[in-house]
Chain A
């Protein structure tokens, strides 16, 4: 292995994000290597989406540093992080309502083509991949929740990212569509796509991820294989203690 391959793709170093007195992420450090799939787990309010916002640049950390591909991106703006190779989906979907599905994806393919027709052709490929081909020319505001999630994924994929952040892609999706989405993510993994996923569905985490970090109150509580994390006494305690037990 060369030196290049040893450096992690993403290196989060002691990052803290405080909103006034509320600390959403506390002294969090982790790395992701190329080709790896990392799952972020934890109860609501654990700081998972805030962590995504920090990596994608929507938030600038109160302290700490973030390195991507060997470069310090702590202060880099979201559009520049996208160009550097980070893409994300939004937990609360943000479709461009007045653009068609394929035009939504064209926004992401802009840097790769000079003509609109080439962009359209390229975008159609991604629309097809996520199974929205039939809805390609419909305004995005006409999509169902599940379709919006897929559109988010198509747009993020179309930026051709080195690192893809997927925030609850299966959330709100009807049960019969989940296997299709899982297959899609697996095919991305097989192509060597590096992923960080936020997921509540334990089956999805088990099937997809190599490693999981369990967060609670903004800090890392447990780290290991998905199996280890799910069986960890502290994790079990947290869920059972809350009277849940649904993890």
Chain B
């Protein structure tokens, strides 16, 4: 991860970006674009959760709280203050980041990961129950509607860009821009001293601390960055779907879906969460008819991928080649 990218990898990244950019010019199929937009929103969420859990090793199961806080925060500011969604999605991110700081502080003192999991999950449940009961503000499970969409604008030479349910293309490009931004931030951090510190902290907290890494600072930083990105993803989702219910954005189902995406794609890798988000979002669409049995299928997917593909889909290619570490160890 800390070596310069090979030209082959550069080409792969560039190719993926070009394909994503050209796709809406080939097809404007509303349903296909909708699925891809959701995949990108989940891709941001999965990447940001992987940043905390896969790279920094903090096993948090409450990140859906940040998604919900970003979504409701941005939507409520938009509805009540009349601010543009272009501004409020960042405010939604900030609200989530503040919550991340708030929940990051007690986690600093807990070194046992099962306890971190329970504390964060408990926090997310508090957020869900609060959103569901503050009916005067959020309308509870009836759903918050009337969320403003993104304002249109005019691009010189291209004409007017309008965000409407009928035309998914502008949303598609906006989601893609947010995805690039999020993955770009995480990648840049992971390839810097921060990334080195995080992996050291994950693999040996005591050793990392003895080598001069400030655990407090690293943990807070990773939590704030991650919750900000998840909050922005949630805020985008709010202004895209335009109706929010606590069950949909703050329910534990969402978290389990994200965990499944990251595990299937590859925990602790940069591309894994994106691959997992794409594969599972499409799969979820196929499984839509199963309705309440969906959770059963997610569970089976998590178990199967952990059993047969513990490092995720993105390591498939590497498995076919001879693993260099194993080869070296055997040679010894």
Contact = CB atoms under 8 A, between A and B. Distances in A.
Contact of A90 (B202, B206, B324, B325): B206
A58 B2 CA distance: 29
A94 B201 CA distance: 11
Interface stretch (B8-16, B207-215, B226-234, B249-257): B207-215
Interface stretch (B79-87, B88-96, B190-198): B190-198
B329 interface: yes
B26 to A, nearest CB: 39
A97 B208 CA distance: 12
B204 interface: yes
A215 interface: no
B21 to A, nearest CB: 30
A110 B197 contact: yes
B268 interface: yes
Interface residues of B, number: 28
Contacts of A82: 209-212
Interface string A114-152: 001001100000000000000100110110100000000
A99 B325 contact: no
A82 B199 CA distance: 19
B contact face: mostly helix, strand, loop, or mixed: helix
A contact face: mostly helix, strand, loop, or mixed: helix
Contacts of A111: 212
B100 to A, nearest CB: 22
B2 A103 contact: yes
Contacts of B207: 90, 94-96, 155
Given A58-B206, A94-B204, A111-B212, A138 B328 contact: yes
Contacts of B206: 58, 78, 90, 94
A87 B210 contact: yes
A107 interface: yes
A115 to B, nearest CB: 10
Contacts of B2: 103, 106, 116, 120
A110 B2 CA distance: 13
A77 interface: yes
Contacts of B329: 142
B37 interface: no
Contact of B268 (A58, A94, A98, A142): A98
B210 A88 contact: yes
Given A95-B204, A142-B325, A78 B209 contact: yes
Given A108-B211, A108-B212, 19 more contacts: A58-B206, A77-B209, A79-B212, A82-B209, A82-B211, A83-B212, A87-B211, A95-B203, A96-B203, A96-B204, A96-B207, A99-B200, A103-B2, A104-B200, A107-B213, A119-B193, A138-B324, A142-B325, A159-B212
Interface of B: 2, 191-193, 196-197, 199-200, 202-204, 206-215, 268, 324-326, 328-329, 332
